[in-house]
Each structure stands twice: as structure tokens, then as C-alpha cells.
Amino acid sequence: MEILNNPSLKGKPVLVGGGDRGVVAACSYEARKFGIHSAMPMKQALQKCPSAIVTNASRGQYSHYSRWVTNLIAEKVPLFEKASVDEFYVDLTGMDRFFGVNNFAQELRAHITHTTGLPISCGIATARFIAKMATNEAKPNGFLAIPPGKETAFLWPLSIDKINGVGEHTSQLLKSKGLYRIEDIARTPIEMMSAIAGKWGESLWEKAQGKGSTTLHTDWEQKSISHEKTFEEDRQDIPFLTQQLLELVEETAADVRSEEKMSGCITVKIKYHDFEVSSKQETIDYTVLDDVLQAKAKALFTELYQTGRKVRLLGVRCSQLVPISLQMSLFDQQVEKLQLYQAMDALNDRFGKNTLTKAAHIRNNRDDKTEDAAHN
């Protein structure tokens, strides 16, 4: 994407992220040749490649292109899953009767590249994870089709490190057992794989046999998470309503994070004392951070609320949910904030809601009580 904005960067090692104290949000394939990868400390990346060019990008740009590609796919394909901001699974069953699967996929890829200017890598296979592996092997900007019956011929020569989900710890564990290639896993009894890595070991064995799911989760856009609160008595005081709104956003965002999702749309709902309902939504850059969502919710509430009217209920909904993307969470160097929120979520889940809360909430609650006492 950075090369689209600045063509002079083409063919050069490029790092996307903040300064020396930040981390790499994304990097060009030229940079990857030096062993650089996403989430690597920027200082370490520059040590590996001192000539790398560091540039900044925003979540907004990535959200824009993500939605653009989504719309282009939706125009051409009846059944697809948006697995993340930059990854899609498409069901091409039946396409061979009319177009030929490979031809259709290549035409779709060419159409997206021509329209957006983005490089698109594409893999075709009989199972999701094999298509993903084929896509990885096709990068950058390539196409690879694995014919039915050729799954193991493709998979077995590959290193275990190329299996999605095999991190450094699992890789070291498997290699300590003499398992270096996918073929090694395939030829190991499933009982032994279970003893080595439990259920994940069994899953790896299944994958190594060239077996995998073909199911697409096509309801990703329809899913939403929401929370509402009906007050014991109708309220019209802005500090109270704002505080309730922020807490609803916090609760909703925690549920979104528990699903390991990000939201691309937020809605605020107001039900007045006479049961009239009004709502307003806004498409946003993909995020799951409380402060970002709260700022959007407050702005929507300000636009929506009819001053002086008593409110019976407030509601918040997060929709257009997609899996959390490492790259998206690294933009603006917000990965630490995401990890903090996730740690707070874990403690609240374990010890009860509101075990940990933000200092601003405590302060606002005290202000509310002081104001109520003054009114009395």
C-alpha cells in the first residue's frame, strides 16, 4: 500500500511503523529477506537492515482498502468469508461448469489489482488451510493452484514453520522430536502427535494428511455485539448519560475482544421517556480499543441526543466484525494498549465484572454522587 502512495519505494526494503521505540506493523518482501517480520521491534529491524526505509501508515488507509476489496469480491462471488482485513476465502464450487476455477480466480485477482493497484496473492485448493498455504507460497503477487489429489505432494516438502499457527515454541518442540517437514508429521502415528502436542498435535496430523475444512463463515458481516441499559428512572443530565454510554462501550468492546474480533461500525441507540427510539451509526477504521470506540460513541451521542429530553434507555452496538489483525493492532503503536485491555478483560472475567476499571470511571462516579448530594 505504501508503494501505491510512493512508487519510488518499489523494490526497496520498506518498514511500516513508528520510530526506534516502536514495532514493525508491516514490511516489504525485500525487507523480509533480511529476516524482518511484523511485530519485530523497529530498532532490531533496522539493525538487520540499516538501509531500510521507514514510513508511516494509518489504520484508516488499511480499512479503506479492505472495504474496497471486500466490495469488489462481493460483486463477483456469491459466497465468501472475510477472514481478516486483508484475507478472504472464496467458495468456487460449481464455477468449473461455467468458467473454470483457475480462470475465474485469476480473472478476479486481475480485476482487483487493476481496480485498486494492490498486489494480490491467491491460492486454490480443496481445503481452507491448503489454500492458505498455497497463497503464502504464491507471495508476493502470485497465483498457485493445488489440483485435487496433489495435496500431500505440495505439503510434504514444506517446513513445519510454514504451517499457520506453528509458532517458535511449537516449532522447537516438534524439531526436538525430529519433525522438521510436514511429511515427518504425516508419517508419525497420530497417537504420538497427540502425546507430543495434545489436540493441536492431532490437528497438525490431520493437516499433514492433506485434509481440512471447506466450511466458510459467511455470516461475518451480519454478526454484531451489543449492550443496552434501561435506567431505573428517566434521566436527562448529560454527565450521567455520558458515563453510562462509556461503560456500555467498554462492556461491548470487551465482548468483541473476547471473540478475538475488531469492529468496523459502531451504533448508538437512545430510547426516550415516551418510548421514541433514535439511533445513529458510523463506519469506522477497524478497531477494538475502548478509547477509540468511546470517542466515536460520544460523538454519535452528541449528534443524536435531543437536548432536554429524558432518556429511558441507552444502547451500543459494534458490527462489521472481523478477526483481530496483527498489522491493524500495531498501527499507531497501539499493541501495548490492546494487550492492556485484554489483561483487564481476563482479570474481570476471573474475579468479576468491574474488578478493574478505569480511573476516569471512578472519578466520574464520585462526581455524580457529589452532584446528587448537592441536589439533595
Instruction: Report the catalytic residues.
Output: 87
Asked if 116 contacts 72 with a C-beta cutoff of 8 angstroms, the reply is: yes
Task: Phi first, then psi: give them for residue 141, nearest 5 degrees.
Answer: 60, 45
Q: Kind of pairing, strands 224-235 and 53-55? A: unpaired
CA 252 to mean position of chain CA atoms: 17
Dist CA 171 CA 50 (whole Å): 29
Report angle CA 78, 83, 85 to the nearest 5 degrees.
105
CA 276 to mean position of chain CA atoms: 36
CA 145 to mean position of chain CA atoms: 26
Instruction: Say whether the peptide bond before residue 140 is cis (omega within 30 degrees of 0).
Output: yes
As given in the structure block, the three cell numbers for residue 147 are 489440483
As given in the structure block, the three cell numbers for residue 164 are 499457520
Report angle CA 249, 254, 257 to the nearest 5 degrees.
125
Q: Please state, as a whole number, how many other Cβ atoms lie within 10 Å of the Cβ of residue 214.
A: 12
Dist CA 182 CA 173 (whole Å): 14
Dist CA 62 CA 177 (whole Å): 41
The string over 277-307, giving b where at least 16 C-beta atoms fall within 10 Å of a residue's C-beta and e elsewhere, is eeeeeeebbbbbbbbbbbebbeebbeeebee
DSSP labels for 96-128?
Answer: GGTT-HHHHHHHHHHHHHHHH-----EEE-SSH
